A = this chain, B = another copy of it.
Amino acid sequence: MREFVVTTYDWVPEVPRGYVRDLRIRWALEEAELPYRVEATSFRDRGAEHFLHQPFGQAPWLTHGEISISESGAILLYIGEFSQHLMPTTPKERAKVIEWVFAALNSVEMASLPWSLFKFTNDEEMTAGRNLIEGFLSTRLKHMEQVFEDREWLTEAFSIADILMSDVLRLVDRFDGLAEYPLCHSFVERATARPAFAKALEDQLAHFAASD
């Protein structure tokens, strides 16, 4: 039987702990109740083997038999094929989940991650470009707030899209960026209250702590 193996860094500094993207993969595998193993790759010394699996020298990647795949969105789509808990089977419902997967990563995270880089450095200087970044994120959040007016999850049932969107919004929340978006905030709370998230988070923190 082919085994799911998640490879992440052996160690990371304090700040990113709890936010390294292997969390998304662990979370999905826990939700799907698929057995998996975690392997470690050096954070400080990223060699040719690492780049074979992940062209930007990032983590995580997933291996499954002869398949090796990186990018959290691609990995979650892959895992989704093995679980109806994470991905519906009718073409119409599948299309909606896939749409929200990309919405999370290419419409919301493309705005939120750059925004978080400024928060991270306590950079408060509102230059012309920075104003566009602020407006980019607030426009996206305003629309997400409307989306959550009538639903618990992004589509009919919890899916890989909710894992990605809530993890993206969780980083905004860390910098208090959801204060004006209570429905986005409660979506993050609802998603992260799931036992599979708690297990994934606890396991990631323990994994990095073990190398301190």
Contact = CB atoms under 8 A, between A and B. Distances in A.
A113 interface: yes
Count the copies.
Answer: 2
A19 B117 CA distance: 26
Nearest to A140: B56
Given A67-B91, A123-B127, A73 B106 contact: yes
A146 B101 CA distance: 28
Nearest to A131: B121
A18 interface: no
Contact of A70 (B70, B99, B114): B99
A34 interface: no
Contact of A133 (B78, B107, B114): B114
A31 interface: no
Contacts of A147: 55
A105 B57 CA distance: 17
A103 interface: yes
A72 B103 CA distance: 9
A106 B106 contact: yes
A139 to B, nearest CB: 8
A105 B106 contact: yes
A179 interface: no
A132 to B, nearest CB: 4
Interface in A130-150: 130, 132-133, 136, 139-140, 143-144, 146-147
Given A102-B105, A120-B129, 12 more contacts: A55-B147, A69-B99, A71-B99, A105-B110, A109-B110, A110-B110, A118-B127, A120-B132, A125-B125, A125-B127, A127-B130, A130-B130
